[in-house]
Structure 1
Amino acid sequence: MVRAALAMMLGGSSGISVVAEAADGEEALRVVPGSGADVVLMDIRMPVRDGLSATEELLRTHPDLKIIVLTTFDTDDMVLRALRTGAAGFLLKDTKPARLVEAIRNVAAGQPMLSPSVTAQLIAAVTRDDTGKATHDRALAARAALAELTEREREVAEGVARGLSNAEVAAELFMGVPTVKTHVGRIFAKLGVENRVQVAILVHDAQASG
């Protein structure tokens, strides 16, 4: 029912075509590679094969694919792990249709979805059960990675982690948008990340105590 509703809604949106559907992660691995899909909406909890392992496998073999994780938030404690693998972002399952369409278009255009408030809540929910050592180790690794950035790059990274767009970062730091884009590209390269979500995770980890 959910897939049918999504297909009906998206199929009627200008510029969007539903090229494939899958009932679980295993089927997704079979149908997505040959579908020509640009963006995949991936549920986390599915029978046969869960969305997390399917996301990891698809991005391993098709790194240019954009995957948006769908979550109920309250129960999907694996979402942060999905983002760490390179998923382009996440949306709550009760996202309004217009917002879902906008998100797909943005992600297809190379602008991963990062909701500051939901990201913060998800990170808090997932890291709440970490052991002190796990938190400490991640914090040390993240701080070492961020230490490779210049002071200006660090400021841009912190803006990205707060969910600001390039234009918003530019306005806040009194920089031109092209300059911010250049900084973001260098940040990705230095940190070895693929998207803004992963930058946010690293900044969060670096600020964690433990």
Structure 2
Amino acid sequence: MEKKRTRNYSTVVYPESAPENWQMILEEQCVPAFVSPIHNKDINSDGDLKKEHFHVMVMFDGVKTQEQAREVFDLIGGVGVEPIKSVRAYARYLCHLDNPDKMKYKIDDVLSLSGADYNTMISLASDKYSAIGEMIDFCIQNRIDSYAELLLYAKDNRVDWFHVLCDNGTVTMVQFLKSRYWEIHKRYTEDMN
């Protein structure tokens, strides 16, 4: 019987049974990987709190067997070896981005190793639109009409917004801020007359 092979695998790591430096050990394997934030607020179906754990996702450059992936996971105390069918879907699962009934975790807390780019991996067009909507609301609430002010705020405080602005959201936000500035100053000029 032929062994199934794929490039991407996942495991679960429980802090109390993993080596203290397990994340460094994983990084030393030089395999692109994501480590979820610690899942410490997940609830079982019976309403009890689940044991704290991390989800780990590795993305090999070439296909590997489950046994080959297990060799990496054994080094870090990983429990189980699961082939990943959709890299984007599993990457989004690390923070429960598409699971409304589960606790959401911060995307900025995902550890990206060996060249893996979490923000690129999880990007969906709908996320970009949501981020632009959030930025518009933020600018209105905080009376921001300067693109530079928005960009600096995003760089320091909202990496997801910063990525949208750097990748392709700039035109929309610049046009919104110009129009907003014009409307505010038009009203002010009209009120003065």
Give yes or no for TM over 0.5.
no
TM range (shorter): 0.3 to 0.5
Tell which has more relative contact order, 1 or 2 (C-alpha 8 A, sep 6+): 2
Using the size of structure 2 for normalisation, the TM-score is 0.33
Structure richer in strand, relative to its length:
2
Using the size of structure 1 for normalisation, the TM-score is 0.31
Q: Which has the larger radius of gyration?
A: 2
